[in-house]
Structures are given as structure tokens and as C-alpha cells.
Amino acid sequence: MLGGTGFLSRAVAATAIVRGHDVTAVHRGRTGTVPDGVTQVLADRGDPMPPDLAGASFDAVVDVSSTPSHVRRAVATWPDRHWVFVSTVNVYADDSDPGGPGVGLLREPETDDVGPASSPDAYGRMKVACEQAVLDGVASAAVVRPGLIVGPGDPTGRFTYWPARMLRTLDGDGADALAPGKPSDPVQVIDVRDLAAWIVTLAERRGAGVLDAVGPVTPIGDVLDAVARGCGAAPRWRWADGGRLAALDVRPWAGDRSLPLWLPRPDYAGMVAHDAGPALAAGLEVRPVEDTSRDVLAWLRSTPDAPVSGLTAAQEAEVLAALR
């Protein structure tokens, strides 16, 4: 496991350990700890791989990097292993098009390390270059392209906004809840634990090919209702279309003053409408959204400093008042 301490890579390492595998995590030791039972090697991927790693007899390599030089160096170290490379739906050039592998147009690859991903475009272009390095340089590989990854421990706080919002309803503050767009607008999420389990399965089975790693396309109204059920809440959803939200300075997707899961349409409609069928046929299993919501709520209650993106309670009240 190249990584092993972050949101997804740690879940992959933990899942592999539970299944009885010997797992080595190569990381810098800066962003967290590895799961119990994982052998860790501290190394900076900007440097050559330590000699004992280069000669190790790993069966499979899992990599989540978006830094092209790091991926090229690892590919050169283990070209004869099976790889599972975790990419992103941001590799697609047209965010309005839900076309997947072999159909959707890819961004132009960025083969240089342009530093921290300053935009979805830069991030996507570097991931394209990383994909190419893997597919061209190793014996066999699966490339998976996730959309929005959710679940306990999410450092982005995007999906987490909604269980946190339901917590306010449960506490008696805010029965009216702002909801974005139309209830029929499609959206899709994938629980980090389901994605991690599938990645380990692809490593075990030597699964190969390029697949969108997404959950089923679901109307956002159904997703938010499932979130509410998972939290035991019964909010009154107050729906507002994208134009009205933008006029009230409500921002999409994530960050300050945002309403997570909302993306302007039609410009970004394709990002949350990819076909989950091929991934499901290749062994991906997804849990109900209400189960994810329940577990995220439990994590929020046990983790006072858990990241939560989106509107504050005061900002939401201000927007709801303006809508009335």
C-alpha cells in the first residue's frame, strides 16, 4: 500500500489485514497512523525506493497518488506486480458528460508535478498522467475512478454536512432544512469502506481494466431522505433551485457557505451520473446510504473536531428566511 494513513488508503490497508493479507504501507509518517497489523516503512516518494522495498516479493501494489513522478518511480520499482491504481472521475474533460471509460473524453495529461492540486482540472490532468504510467508500465492493472467518497473519517466534510445537519434537527434546532436543486436531480456516492473492500478484491482476483468506482445513480431527494432515516430525523426539506441558491451566495459542492452534494446543472451534471453497472459486475458491493449516514452520525458524536463543510446554522437560517 503506497500510503496507508489517509482516508481511503488506510481503509484499504485495514480491509486487507482483516482478510488475512500481509500488508506493507509505505508513507512519510506525517498524516496519521497505519492500522494495527500493518508493517510500515517510512519513505519519501520523491526519493528512490529503499533497496529492501525494491527487492520485496509483493503480490500486488495499491497506489492513490496524484503526483506523476511518484507513480512513475513506483512503476519502475515494481513493473511485474499487479497494480490497483485509484484515480478519479476528474480525469474526464467534460463535467457535463456522464460517459465513462472508453466513452468520456479525458483531460490532457499533465506529466509534471505541478504541486498541490490547485483546481479540479490540474488534479484531473495529473491523474490522467498517473493512469497512463501505470497502464503502460506494469504487467497487469486495474484503474478505478471514484466519484464522491463518503463515510466516517472523511477529511473533506462534504457528505458529513448532511448527518451534521440532521443532528441539529434531532436537537430541536431546525426542522426546516435547505435542500439543493430538484428532488429528482441525480447524485451518487460511495462509502469508503465499500470502495476499499472492492480495491482489495481487485488485488486478490488480479482484476484488470478501467472502471468508474461509483455507487448507483440516485435522485438526491431519495439520498437525503435516506440520510434522514439513518439519523432518525424527520426534517421538512425546503428545496431551492440552483439559480436561487447562487443568487443568495450559496456555493456548490464543498467549502465555506456551500451546500454539499449540489453541483450547478447542466455544466456539472455528468460528475454525479456515471454508470455503476460495470463496477457492480466486477464485484463492487455498496451499502445503503442510511447505513453510511448512521455511521457518520456516530462518528460525529464521538469526534468533536470532525471536519464538516458547508453552511453554518446561521447562514442556512438566513437563506431560508430569504426564500420565504
Domain containing 92: what range? 7-149+191-213
**59 and 72 together in one domain:** yes
**pLDDT tens digits, residue range 219-246?**
999 999 999 999 999 999 999 999 999 9
In a domain, 65, yes or no: yes
Residue 271, pLDDT > 80, answer yes
Average pLDDT, the chain: 95
Whether residues 260 and 134 fall in one domain: no
Q: What is the CATH number of the domain that holds 31?
A: 3.40.50.720
Q: Would you say residue 124 lies in a domain?
A: yes
Q: How far is CA 310 from CA 137, 178, 249, 290, in A?
A: 41, 12, 12, 20
Residue 16 within a domain: yes
In the structure, what pLDDT confidence band is assigned to residue 162 with cuts at 50, 70 and 90?
very high
Residues 303 and 166 in one domain: yes
286, three cell numbers: 455498496
Same domain, 157 and 68: no
d(CA 190, CA 196): 10
Residue whose C-alpha is closest to residue 199's, from 156, 157, 145: 145
User: Is 209 domain-assigned?
Assistant: yes
Q: Do 11 and 125 sit in the same domain of this protein?
A: yes
CATH of the domain at 181: 3.90.25.10
275: in domain:
no
Better-predicted residue by pLDDT, 116 or 34: 34
Same domain for 315 and 294? yes
Residues 209 and 243 both lie in one domain:
no
Look at residue 81 and tell me whether its pLDDT is greater than 80.
yes
Q: Are both 252 and 303 inside the same structural domain?
A: yes
- C-alpha to C-alpha distance for 147 and 218, rounded to whole angstroms: 13
Q: What share of the chain has pLDDT > 90, as a percent?
A: 89
* pLDDT value of residue 54: 74
- Whether pTM exceeds 0.85: yes
Residue 26 is assigned to a structural domain of this protein: yes
Do 81 and 131 belong together in one domain? yes
In this prediction, residue 118 carries a pLDDT of 62
Given a contact cutoff of 8 angstroms between Cβ atoms, the answer to whether 44 and 28 are in contact is yes
Region 61-79: what's the mean pLDDT?
Answer: 95
User: Do 136 and 164 belong together in one domain?
Assistant: no
Question: What residue has cell string 507513480?
Answer: 71
87 and 134 fall within a common domain: yes
* Predicted confidence (pLDDT) per residue in 172-211, tens digit: 887 999 999 999 999 999 999 999 999 999 999 999 999 9
DSSP 127-160: HHHHHHHHHHHSSEEEEEEE-EEESTT-SS-TTT
In a domain, 2, yes or no: no
Q: What is the pLDDT of residues 37-65, one digit of tens each?
A: 999 999 889 888 888 787 778 999 999 99
Q: Are residues 19 and 111 in the same domain?
A: yes
